[in-house]
Amino acid sequence: MGAYILRRLLLMIPTLFGIMAISFVVIQFAPGGPVEQVIARLTGQAGDSSDRLGSGGGGDMGMAGGFEAGGGAISGKYRGAQGLDPEFIAKLEKQFGFDKPPLERFGLMLWNYARFDFGESYFRDISVVDLILEKMPVSISLGLWITLISYMISIPLGIRKAVKDGSAFDTWTSAIVIVGYAIPGFLFAILLMILFAGGSFYDWFPLRGLTSDNWSQMSWPDRIVDYFWHLTLPLTAMVLSAFATNTLLTKNSFLDEIRKQYVVTARAKGLSEHRVLYGHVFRNAMLIVIAGFPGAFISAFFTGSLLIENIFSLDGLGLLGFKSVVDRDYPVVFANLYIFSLIGLFVSLISDLTYTWIDPRIDFDRRDV
């Protein structure tokens, strides 16, 4: 097992390199980069996205204000830069690091990221690490709770559906699961907001943040209640479709195992149905369900909550990543990508190690990675 773990850890290096290299080419050379964002801001061509650039009081806007537009026209390298002093454009390029060749920028980025030095946000007066840590509680809350709730629902429900395969219970629950999976989470979130958050009917739940304004003055029991009070609608919107895939996967896995000869033999020996299901079938059937845990966790932790964060004004990592792409805030974009790629690779390794804990017969050292 030690050799397998070492191989997996070594394989993370080229995997991360490939992810960062492809993303660098796609994002770094996309039109409308940070220099264009500043130029658009100065020339009054900025849209809604660029209006957010100075929200953090970053030094870039302050620096831009320290130069005046000159009469020397520059080439068409940057759209909308006509009439700006070439020296000012050069200063902007140097500040954002675009005075260096692309390969040098990419190599410097990899060297810094290997030391977990992510620099500072282009358009916010804060380091990238501090910015991510600031948004982390929201994403952890959504990702952790939605993963736990979905597995707590899907596994018992999938087992029950497998046992009752073909019955009315199986048919009706399958219909509910499929309908729930088909309804987009953001549409259901809007419906919940209209019904229960002061939209048109009831005003029972809050619409902003994870805690109330007076949270620091509350007792611990009240803080817990307030925390889950704020999470109720976002989690309800996300859980509607989150458990559908795992439910059907659990059911099909159990059906495959139930039909095998060792189950027939166990029943013939007089073992109870509970002993057969949870003493023999469960361990084998749950392997494939565990395999989907890393993807489910990372998806819920980051990408899966983007629209929900936006609708319920939850300022988490999903919303941060989206805004950073729109604003071309490259340090934040690449730091998010690097961190979550690394987390995904480690969680995948942990998932493989969990296989051996559930079923000791599995030995990864006997096969190639």
Domains of the chain: 24-127 (no CATH), 129-327 (1.10.3720.10)
Highest-confidence segment of 11-25, 123-137, 203-217 = 11-25
What pLDDT is recorded for position 70?
A: 39
**What are phi and psi for residue 32, nearest 5 degrees?**
80, 40
* Helix, strand counts (H, E) of the chain: 18, 0
Using the predicted structure, report yes or no on whether residue 191 has a pLDDT greater than 70. Answer: yes
Q: Which of 5-9, 125-129, 288-292 has the weakest average pLDDT?
A: 288-292
Per-residue confidence at 65, pLDDT binned at 50, 70, 90? very low
Predicted local confidence at residue 17, as pLDDT? 92
Measured CA to CA, the distance from residue 252 to residue 148 in angstroms comes to: 21
75 has a pLDDT exceeding 50: no
pLDDT of residue 143: 80
**pLDDT for position 98:** 78
Position 69 scores a pLDDT of 38
The band of 56, judged by pLDDT with boundaries at 50, 70 and 90, is very low
| Per-residue tokens: 341 | 């790629």
Q: CA-to-CA distance for 102 and 151, rounded, in angstroms?
A: 44
What's the confidence (pLDDT) of residue 9?
87
> In this predicted structure, what is the pLDDT of residue 358?
64
62 — pLDDT class (breaks 50, 70, 90) = very low
State the Cα–Cα distance between residues 142 and 127, nearest whole angstrom. Answer: 24
Average pLDDT over all residues of the chain: 77
Q: Look at 61-65, 74-78, 277-281, 323-327 and tell me which has the smallest mean pLDDT.
A: 61-65
Q: How far is CA 243 from CA 23, 160, 246, 250, 286, in A?
A: 31, 14, 5, 10, 15
- Mean pLDDT to the nearest integer, 5-30: 86
Percent of the chain with pLDDT strictly greater than 90: 4
Q: What is the DSSP letter of 316?
A: -
pLDDT at 292: 67
pLDDT bin (cut points 50, 70, 90) of residue 66 is very low
Residue 227's pLDDT band, with cuts at 50, 70 and 90, is confident
**Coil, strand, or helix at residue 58?**
coil
pTM of the predicted protein model: 0.70
pLDDT of residue 21: 92
pLDDT digits (tens, 9 = 90+) for 253-286: 888 888 888 888 888 888 888 888 887 788 777 7
Kindly report, residue by residue over 326-340, the tens digit of the pLDDT.
Answer: 888 888 889 988 988
**Residue 203: φ, ψ to 5°:** -120, 70
Burial class (CB in 10 A: 0-12, 13-18, 19+), 252: middle
Other Cβ atoms less than 10 A from the Cβ of 259: the count is 9
